[in-house]
Structure 1
């Protein structure tokens, strides 16, 4: 099949950097298993540098996201294929890690939930579907929509971003090619240029790795700004299993100097609320007072402790 131009007049897909042939892997089918993984590893080594070059844009994004989330806004990821799955992955890991509500950070994928495990490749061609997803969420001006598309030209994502802009939501794009429609449409473009993939056009490789790294930074950086950590401890962790219960106990022990048995008992007394337990353990107040003080200081533990100790 010939490489036809995009129906909206965009250049043929072969013009994209992520779709060009990588000279380092043109003979990958002749390589030994060790040579294959060495070649893949050499390409992956380029990803961190590509992300490093866009750190200022990522920092700008987390500051803007945090500002809107303080006003009650949501962080919404939207993408197709690998890009959509990565957004869903990042969103799904925030509630247990940072204690966010399930609807605070949302991942949407072209084709719906079935596409998380099964390829529904034609679903990405509908800009109307992207808009409809956000309409169902009743998008508001305090929300942030992050469009994820290695090519920067996925219709599903572009339709969502166009609608998000019409609702005055903050728009961010994560793209791995220059001068894309997505880059031109969003408020904050994040463009890690990873170059040609080891397997031509397989953007689940370097592009996907770069997207995952950027998403990690967006959610983690935003959560840090919102006071979801104390130092590097995840003090809003929700202890939903044994491992997380042990993690919460360890956090309380380090922050208060209590032993494991005392920390565990304190967590039970505070309904598993790690921040509350730390305030109680450090300042010897009741859980009710601890909760009141945390609420008065935007639930930021460090600020609360400093204010109560002054």
Structure 2
């Protein structure tokens, strides 16, 4: 029998159905508190992956996440947040989930078991050697994801992964494996818990650091964010007031004129008569 993935090992908690609500909550929180340490231990691997991604994207490449279930949903969420946060095109960072977009809300049975489908899903985007594919699978054993990264790598794409099991088949299939081992889940095998938290943390680190390296942040501000609601417009106004030392009305006028915080910062001096 193959070695059991770390994510499938038995919880250290017994008879959790008999616990009080307070004990359940404290135990879950205690387990969650260990996740940041597990992620910290793989920062060197994340750094290598980020630097490789940036080099490709500076040449015009894109970033793809592929996954199933919770992992796939986390990839879709991270990708979907890049355009409003950093002002990048919607096809620069793409999340693909086994079973298609319908699987974001409702599980598609056995979709993760098809080792050929991920590459078929990727082919719709006409991938090339400048692109990167990151496979997301907590167990590191999902056929959809492993098959996808293997095909991508064979076609010259950069490949990485985020898994939560050591020495996983997925990790062995990519050039830049990131395996944050968080240990058994509070509910045995429920990888939406610690494993999902670790994957979310690492996705945040990857996309944020990549966008910073690509020049999508100035100082510590999201100067390229899309002004898609009043909260974000107000945030942009505050940025301009602080950066340019101007009043609210002038900041609002300039933001309306140029349409983005960055454009105002780059053109403000030229707009003064």
Which of 135, 144, 167 is the equivalent residue of 1:156? 144
1:129 correspondence with 2:114: no
Post-superposition offset of 1:74: 0.6
How many Å separate the matches in 2 of 1:86 and 1:136? 21
**Structure 1 counterpart of 2:204:** 216
1:275 correspondence with 2:262: yes
Post-superposition offset of 1:56: 1.0
Equivalent position SS for 2:253: helix
Contact 2:5–2:168, Cα closer than 8 Å, also in 1: no
Q: Which has the higher contact order (CA 8 A, sep 6+)?
A: 2
How many Å separate the matches in 2 of 1:255 and 1:230? 11
How many Å separate the matches in 2 of 1:215 and 1:153? 19
How many Å separate the matches in 2 of 1:50 and 1:76? 24
Q: CA RMSD in A?
A: 1.2
Contact 1:150–1:203, Cα closer than 8 Å, also in 2: yes
Matches for 1:161-172 after TM superposition, within 5 Å: 161-172=149-160
1:236 correspondence with 2:224: yes
Which of 13, 21, 36 is the equivalent residue of 2:24? 36
Which of 264, 270, 273 is the equivalent residue of 1:285? 270
Structure 1 segments (4+ residues) deviating >2 Å? none
- Structure 1, gaps ≥5 residues long: 6-10, 288-310
How many Å separate the matches in 2 of 1:144 and 1:202? 28
Equivalent position SS for 1:108: strand
Per-residue CA deviation, residues 142-199 of structure 1 (Å, 9 max, x unaligned), is: 1010000011110100111011101211101101111111111111111111000000
Equivalent position SS for 2:95: strand
- Structure 2, gaps ≥5 residues long: none
Which of 11, 25, 28 is the equivalent residue of 1:22? 11
Contact 2:72–2:96, Cα closer than 8 Å, also in 1: yes
1:97 correspondence with 2:112: no
Equivalent position SS for 1:267: helix
Equivalent position SS for 1:198: coil
How many Å separate the matches in 2 of 1:72 and 1:101? 12
Contact 1:194–1:206, Cα closer than 8 Å, also in 2: yes
Post-superposition offset of 1:121: 3.5
Equivalent position SS for 2:110: helix
Q: Which has the larger radius of gyration?
A: 1
How many Å separate the matches in 2 of 1:63 and 1:231? 20
How many Å separate the matches in 1 of 2:54 and 2:248? 34
**Structure 1 counterpart of 2:39:** 51
Contact 2:237–2:248, Cα closer than 8 Å, also in 1: yes
Q: Normalising to structure 1: TM-score of the pair? A: 0.86
Q: Normalising to structure 2: TM-score of the pair? A: 0.97
